[in-house]
Every structure is written in structure tokens, then in C-alpha cells.
Copies of this chain bind each other. A is one copy, B any other.
Amino acid sequence: MLVQFYNVSKIYPNGVKALDDISLKIDRGEFLFLMGPSGAGKSTLIKMLFREEKPTRGQIFIASRSVVRMKRSEIPSLRRSMGIVFQDFKLLESKTVSENVAFAMEVVGARNHEIKNRVPEVINMVGLKGKEDAFPGQLSGGEQQRVGIARAIANQPLILIADEPTGNLDIDTSNEIMDLLYSINRKGTTIIMATHAREIVKAAHKRVIMLEKGRIITDDSSGDYAL
């Protein structure tokens, strides 16, 4: 088991109950969709994985390490084992596209020549060739989103966490991105993806977890998703 949630609840300081007694196991190499209406708790669940938020109750293990009891100094190495696509992109405004991607590799201590080779490669994969030297403020919404994806896959992470990675993409670009994710998944990366895109989920035949009001209402491993 790569990821384990035991009775996890999250109540934000303002009293909002975002997650309610979630238990969940995710295997190494799985591809998991998180679905559910706006405000169901998808992003909250995802933020628990890399400890942007701590659960109010319950335990979370990733590769058998407790994320909840983890020391402050251990957090960076946890996050470095993951690639994260944020719902709001979170790009470094003062760095170009290349620099944003390179930064994620510098953080993990990659070698200079690795960075030099890998950065153009992933930028190409997400279809942003030609935008290497643009700053995030000079990109369209979908282009920014794809920079976020490129950054997340650059380090070939053990786990890829993607929060609504196609929300700003047209269907063709979405499909290209999904193909990219499937191929990464096939190479062994575990992928957890929150999304509203029913077409994508329907076509994928992967495990789907439906959240509503902070609870898991269905966990369908077959992927025969229907609503």
C-alpha cells in the first residue's frame, strides 16, 4: 500500500467540515480519479497528501511513513517524492516557463546537465514549445496550467497528484495531457487526479472515488463510472 487514510477528518479553523471520516487505500501504480461536486473536499484530501493541511483527526501513511506525525524537517523529502499540479497553478511569477520547470528539479538537487536535457523535453510534452522564455503573466490560462503539469512530471515522481489539471484546456489538449498521464502511469507512477471532466473519466476505465460533503459515497475500482 502506498497511501493509507484511516478515519481522516478535517475541520478548518473557521469550523467548516471539509472531510468527514475518510478511510482509503491506494496501491502503488494505481490511477485514481477523485470526483464530486464543487466544495466536496477533493482539494482538501489532496492537500493532506503533501501536508499543506494536517488532518484534524485520523492517520495518513504514505509509503508507510505517517504524514501526520512527520517532523517539520522531513516534509521537504515527502514533497520531493511527489509531483503536484495545483488547481490554481501556483507558478513562480518572476520566473520564465523554463525556469519554473527547472526550479522543481533544482529543489531536488538534480544535476545541471540533467536539468538542461529534461526541461525542454517536458515543455515539449505538454505542447508549450516556443513558450520557454515567457513569464506566467504572458501565458493563456491553459498554457499556465500546462506549465504546472510540466513542472509536476519533470522529476519523474513516485506519486503524481493533479488537482483539476484540465479545467482550462480544450478537449484535444486535454486528451493529449491525459495520454501523457497514462503513459507516465504505465511506467509505474501512482496518479491521483481530481477532476470534473466526465468525458475523460468515462473513457479512462480507472478507479473513481466520488466525494460528497466530505464523505466517500462511491469507490468504484472498475471505473464503470456513470452519473
Residue pair A143, B38 in contact (C-beta under 8 Å): yes
Q: Return the contact of A38 from the options B43, B142, B196 (Cβ within 8 A).
A: B142
In A73-113, which residues have CB < 8 Å from any B CB?
87-88
When distances are taken between beta carbons in the complex, the residues of chain B under 8 Å from A12 are 138
26 pairs, CB–CB < 8 Å, chain A vs chain B: A14-B134, A16-B134, A35-B170, A36-B170, A37-B173, A38-B141, A38-B142, A38-B143, A38-B146, A38-B168, A38-B169, A38-B170, A38-B173, A39-B139, A42-B140, A43-B141, A87-B141, A88-B88, A141-B163, A141-B164, A141-B167, A167-B167, A169-B196, A170-B196, A171-B196, A171-B198
| A residues lining the B interface (CB < 8 Å) | 12, 14, 16, 35-39, 42-44, 87-88, 134, 138-143, 145-146, 163-164, 167-174, 196, 198-199, 227
